[in-house]
Chains A and B, each alone.
Chain A
Amino acid sequence: MNAKIVIFAGYRVFYHIFAQFFNLMITYSQHTLRNGLRVIVHRADGGAMAAVNMLYRVGSRNENPERTGFAHLFEHLMFRGTRAVPDFDTPLHKVCAENNAFTNNDYTDYYVTLPRENVATALWLESDRMTGLDITPEKLEAEKRVVVEEFNQRYLGQPYGDVWMLMRRLAYKVHPYRWQTIGMTPEHILGASGEDVRAFYERYYNPANAILSIAAHLDVDDMLRMAEEWFGDIPAGVAPVDVLPQEPLIAEARRLEVVRDVPATAIMIAFPMGTRTSRNYYAGDILSDILAGGSSARMYESLVRQRRLFSSVNAYITVDLDPGLFVVTGHLLPETPVSVAEEALWDELRRLQDERVGDYELEKVKNKFEAETVFGELNVMNKAMNLGFYEMLGDLELVNREVEIYRSFTAGELRDEAVAMFIPARSATLIYSKS
């Protein structure tokens, strides 16, 4: 260990070890109730904690363009009590539970973690709020104010807080992804009515539009039986079908420049990419990791460390069901001209088109996906959440197959994907300049 270490020495052997080693899988059992509720349970190998996850297939994509932010406001209302249980949280506090929820473009997810012997309490409360929600005008008004403060805190009162609002508007013109989950403006939230609440609840919150997943060190049959017991009596619903306008490909490069009171100029370049289950999605994920996954990745090494143009850089994909975006972005050092920085980002993209990614670099990225899959499934909450998510994708088995999909990419295919994706005429560029 005192001698100089040659970077690749001794590492090639792991190419093979990695591929043999992983057979870690989430095991699960699946059952659909007569009312259409899909149930997935995972028996965890030990552990005191259980997770109960309820996913509703509704997000900001389903919103009326005049009432953006509504799906997220509605998520807040789901904690405001029902006819039978006026206070949602108290029964959970009594059984050492914690719960929360989030909304994104595509779905709304509610989760509870609690000691495994108390799983029934979570099921009782989730089943109760699937049908009995009781929203008075007072509750609605109070919750609107909370959500407007969330809007202020996270988007309006923060430096760079409106970056994604601007980028969505630039990259999408017709698809509902053109607004953020929080909504286009606080006015849309303030305009929500009791009638809106009732209609939304009826249309989207029913068993056929929901997925229940449970992860716990409990018997599989017991978990399935409990699901039947708590949800079996809920009347059947219909999974709503909303036909969304599909976004045409960007035909001509789009560009927006804004000036804001921020400490450093930022650049963001976005490209349309494929749907969540398309091969193009995985390619985008790998390419973004080659550029910016970990501190050994290309963009940091080249643009921050060597060329010293940026103080920070990143590349990532948005995880959307419908065609999402591939993004490269960075904060400029004060002396770097915008044109130079922009060109430098393009240099990295062109390199992916001109040269095949080397074996070692590709292997590194694939290895990272495998390791992250293991690290990402260490607790019951992540397992329950993952099962719900993949079931929503319509291909539950994918939860155990993705590593293999990442493994299947060759350098040639990635180059082809880069050639097809990083086209100047298909790009949307946001220049966010400091004043």
Chain B
Amino acid sequence: MIPRGVELPEVETVVLANGLPVHLIRTAGQEVARVSLVWAAGSAVQTAAGLKPFTASATLNLLAEGSTSGLSSHEIAERLDFVGSYFDVSIDRDYAVATFCSLEKFFAPTLEMIGEIVLRPAFPDDEVALYARKRMERLAMERAKPATRAREMFSAALFGDGHPYGISSPESDYMSLGRADVARFYERYYGAAGCFAVCSLGDDSAQREALLALLAEMPCGGTAAGSGGFPEPKSAARRVEQVEGAVQSAIRVGRLLFPREHPDFVGMQVVATILGGYFGSRLTQNLREQRGYTYGVMAAMVNLREAGYLAIASEVAAEATGDAIEQIFVEMERLRVEPMPEDELENVRRSMVGEVMRILDGPFGIVDVVIENIQISGGRGGSREGEGSARDYINRFIAEVESISPERVMELARRYLGCEGFTTVVVGRE
């Protein structure tokens, strides 16, 4: 009933003359193509380098707003929209990602725009100004949500207010951004040395060659991942923002642990799932099903390049705030002192394996898995051997999840879930 290992297409890695590793996945018969480019150019990079707030996200978001070959942002958008292709970006503290999806049939015109967007962005002054203005408004709107403020406050409490992983900046800082900031950031971080590509394509070898030829145009420069010079994080135990008349409190509880290469990382992913990673989880059963304090609660291990942490998040009825926090600690304590029933652990294992299979359903999921695999290995997947294929990574993950025992869960809980070192953040009423 439970699949042993998963079927995955082979991933082929080509290292181009400029040093860019391109990971190619053949998905024949799907009629769709996807190209993702990942740069080690997340927001922590800008903070660590002493650059202006929002530089990293602005650079990524402005890539398609005009090219040096003379296309305006509107023309670029038109050309992608006309063939139904789409372009999307995402950024976290470590990485900036640009993704293009198209019908296979329209790969050629899409590829042309990938060149305009990724290799020839112009960052026109008026587009930078418009962007800054829009984003300032949008961030103010985001921050009107208690959950957003709790998330930002939690990062700051966990790492320290000025730490690259903890800092958040006032919206008004957008207005100090100019073209030069963005253009410099692009020059410095968007070269091949800090980048890798993951692409899923059909069988057409001409498409493949055209893609490789285009990506070979990426300049060699750029800064390789691996920042160093990160300050030691300093966690605060507790922070509260009182909100008069709030109907709910946004709660965040967690602690710093370790980055993904740590031998206990997958084990702690299992522990986090037991606590709040699926519907049968201890916290969901306790806070939602039994007490009705919340619509939802989740727990997860969060992966960053230089750190990793356990985070538990929920929005709870304001009057239940104190008890909800207490119950979170009660559930962690239970894992430390009571052996976990084998039956429950089996449910957790299967939920986690099922999740992997769900991610892999459809032609695009494999790309996400390959990206994550390479990020976990800490590099760019540049060498053909050594860092292991996505299949090995997934099958290792599944094997470890499958083999985890109740004793191991208790050992991890005893090691990492004591009250020491935990940070609690509340936005609402306490």
Q: A residues touching B (Cβ–Cβ < 8 Å)? A: 1-5, 7, 10-11, 14, 17, 21, 24, 45, 47-49, 89-90, 93-98, 113-115, 117-118, 141-150, 152-154, 156-159, 262-264, 293-297, 301, 304-305, 308, 311-312, 331, 333, 360, 363-364, 367-368, 370-372, 374-375, 378-381
Whether B81 contacts A364 by the Cβ 8 Å rule is yes
Whether B358 contacts A98 by the Cβ 8 Å rule is yes
Q: Which residues of B contact A159 (CB under 8 A)?
A: 141, 144-145
Given known contacts A5-B70, A96-B350, A370-B84, is B289 in contact with A264 (CB within 8 Å)? no
Q: Is B158 in the interface zone, CB < 8 Å from A?
A: no
Whether B248 contacts A149 by the Cβ 8 Å rule is yes
Q: Which residue of the partner chain B has the closest CB to A382?
A: B362
Q: Is B233 in the interface zone, CB < 8 Å from A?
A: no
11 inter-chain pairs at a CB distance below 8 angstroms, sorted by A residue, are: A2-B69, A3-B69, A5-B75, A7-B75, A48-B3, A94-B350, A263-B143, A294-B77, A308-B133, A312-B134, A371-B102
> How far, in angstroms, from A382 to B71 measured CA to CA in the complex?
36
Among the stretches B29-37, B178-186, B218-226, the one at the interface with A is B29-37
Whether B145 contacts A49 by the Cβ 8 Å rule is no
B270 to chain A, nearest CB (A): 14
In B266-320, the 8 Å CB interface with A consists of 278-280, 288-296, 315-317
Q: Which residue of the partner chain A has the closest CB to B127?
A: A305
Q: Is B238 in the interface zone, CB < 8 Å from A?
A: no
> How far, in angstroms, from A14 to B81 measured CA to CA in the complex?
13
Q: Which residue of the partner chain A has the closest CB to B428?
A: A157
Partner of A374, one of B32, B81, B290: B32
> How far, in angstroms, from A159 to B140 measured CA to CA in the complex?
11
Whether B247 contacts A264 by the Cβ 8 Å rule is no
Whether A95 contacts B137 by the Cβ 8 Å rule is no
Q: Which residues of B contact A157 (CB under 8 A)?
A: 146, 246-248, 315
Given known contacts A157-B247, A296-B74, A308-B130, is B346 in contact with A368 (CB within 8 Å)? no
> How far, in angstroms, from A145 to B272 measured CA to CA in the complex?
25
> How far, in angstroms, from A157 to B314 measured CA to CA in the complex?
13
Q: Is B201 in the interface zone, CB < 8 Å from A?
A: no
Whether A301 contacts B74 by the Cβ 8 Å rule is yes
Whether A149 contacts B3 by the Cβ 8 Å rule is no
The 6 A-B pairs with the shortest beta carbon distances in the complex, nearest first, are A371-B84, A145-B292, A96-B354, A296-B77, A311-B137, A93-B347
In B239-253, the 8 Å CB interface with A consists of 246-248
Partner of B278, one of A21, A93, A115, A375: A93
> How far, in angstroms, from A48 to B5 measured CA to CA in the complex?
12
Given known contacts A146-B288, A375-B101, is B69 in contact with A152 (CB within 8 Å)? no
> How far, in angstroms, from A293 to B29 measured CA to CA in the complex?
28
> How far, in angstroms, from A153 to B363 measured CA to CA in the complex?
34
Q: Is B2 in the interface zone, CB < 8 Å from A?
A: yes
Q: Number of residue pairs across A and B with beta carbons under 8 Å?
A: 204
Partner of B361, one of A10, A117, A305, A379: A379
Q: Is B414 in the interface zone, CB < 8 Å from A?
A: no
Q: Which residues of B contact A381 (CB under 8 A)?
A: 361
Given A11-B109, A331-B137, 5 more contacts at CB 8 Å? A146-B288, A149-B317, A367-B83, A378-B364, A379-B362
Whether A149 contacts B350 by the Cβ 8 Å rule is no
A122 to chain B, nearest CB (A): 12
Q: Which residues of B contact A21 (CB under 8 A)?
A: 103, 105
Whether A149 contacts B315 by the Cβ 8 Å rule is yes
Mark contacts of B65-102 with chain A using CB atoms, 8 A cut-off: 1 yes-contact digit, 0 otherwise. 00001110111011111111110000000000000011
Q: Which residues of B contact A145 (CB under 8 A)?
A: 291-293, 317
Q: Is B115 in the interface zone, CB < 8 Å from A?
A: yes
Given known contacts A1-B69, A48-B7, is B82 in contact with A14 (CB within 8 Å)? yes
> How far, in angstroms, from A281 to B79 measured CA to CA in the complex?
27
Q: How many residues of B contact A (CB 8 A)?
A: 78
Given known contacts A159-B145, A374-B103, is B346 in contact with A94 (CB within 8 Å)? yes
A329 to chain B, nearest CB (A): 14
B367 to chain A, nearest CB (A): 12
> How far, in angstroms, from A312 to B292 measured CA to CA in the complex?
36
Q: B residues touching A (Cβ–Cβ < 8 Å)? A: 1-3, 6-7, 29-32, 69-71, 73-75, 77-86, 101-103, 105-106, 109, 112, 115-116, 130, 133-134, 137-138, 140-141, 143-146, 246-248, 278-280, 288-296, 315-317, 346-348, 350-351, 353-355, 357-358, 360-364
Whether B83 contacts A264 by the Cβ 8 Å rule is no
Q: Which residue of the partner chain B has the closest CB to A266?
A: B141
Q: Which residue of the partner chain B has the closest CB to A261?
A: B144
Q: Which residues of B contact A364 (CB under 8 A)?
A: 78, 81-82
Whether A96 contacts B351 by the Cβ 8 Å rule is yes
Whether B293 contacts A17 by the Cβ 8 Å rule is no
Q: Which residue of the partner chain A has the closest CB to B68?
A: A2
B234 to chain A, nearest CB (A): 31
* Residue with the highest number of chain B CB atoms closer than 10 Å, among A49, A113, A312, A375: A375
B193 to chain A, nearest CB (A): 24
> How far, in angstroms, from A262 to B291 measured CA to CA in the complex?
32
Whether A368 contacts B81 by the Cβ 8 Å rule is yes
A304 to chain B, nearest CB (A): 7
B358 to chain A, nearest CB (A): 6
> How far, in angstroms, from A142 to B291 measured CA to CA in the complex?
7
> How far, in angstroms, from A368 to B102 measured CA to CA in the complex?
11
Partner of B133, one of A24, A89, A141, A311: A311
B281 to chain A, nearest CB (A): 10
Whether A378 contacts B290 by the Cβ 8 Å rule is no
Q: Which residues of A contact B292 (CB under 8 A)?
A: 141-146, 148-149
Given known contacts A113-B358, A149-B316, A363-B82, is B134 in contact with A1 (CB within 8 Å)? no
Whether A49 contacts B361 by the Cβ 8 Å rule is yes
A182 to chain B, nearest CB (A): 11
Whether B350 contacts A95 by the Cβ 8 Å rule is yes
Whether A1 contacts B278 by the Cβ 8 Å rule is no
Whether B316 contacts A95 by the Cβ 8 Å rule is no
Whether B115 contacts A374 by the Cβ 8 Å rule is no
> How far, in angstroms, from A49 to B80 measured CA to CA in the complex?
31
Whether A114 contacts B354 by the Cβ 8 Å rule is yes
Whether B347 contacts A90 by the Cβ 8 Å rule is yes
* Residue with the highest number of chain B CB atoms closer than 10 Å, among A113, A146, A331: A146
> How far, in angstroms, from A293 to B78 measured CA to CA in the complex?
11
Q: Which residues of B contact A363 (CB under 8 A)?
A: 82
Given known contacts A89-B279, A152-B247, is B357 in contact with A96 (CB within 8 Å)? yes
Whether A93 contacts B69 by the Cβ 8 Å rule is no
> How far, in angstroms, from A153 to B134 measured CA to CA in the complex?
26
Q: Which residues of B contact A156 (CB under 8 A)?
A: 247
Q: Which residues of B contact A2 (CB under 8 A)?
A: 69
Whether A7 contacts B79 by the Cβ 8 Å rule is yes
Q: Which residue of the partner chain B has the closest CB to A93?
A: B347
Partner of A94, one of B103, B294, B347: B347
Whether B3 contacts A312 by the Cβ 8 Å rule is no
Whether A1 contacts B112 by the Cβ 8 Å rule is yes
Whether B290 contacts A142 by the Cβ 8 Å rule is yes
B429 to chain A, nearest CB (A): 11
Q: Which residue of the partner chain B has the closest CB to A5?
A: B71
* Residue with the highest number of chain A CB atoms closer than 10 Å, among B75, B78, B106, B291: B78
Given known contacts A96-B350, A157-B246, A295-B77, is B32 in contact with A378 (CB within 8 Å)? yes
Whether B141 contacts A263 by the Cβ 8 Å rule is yes
B60 to chain A, nearest CB (A): 15
Partner of B130, one of A115, A147, A149, A305: A305
B277 to chain A, nearest CB (A): 11
Partner of B106, one of A14, A143, A148, A378: A14
Whether B1 contacts A118 by the Cβ 8 Å rule is yes
Whether B361 contacts A380 by the Cβ 8 Å rule is yes
> How far, in angstroms, from A147 to B288 measured CA to CA in the complex?
10
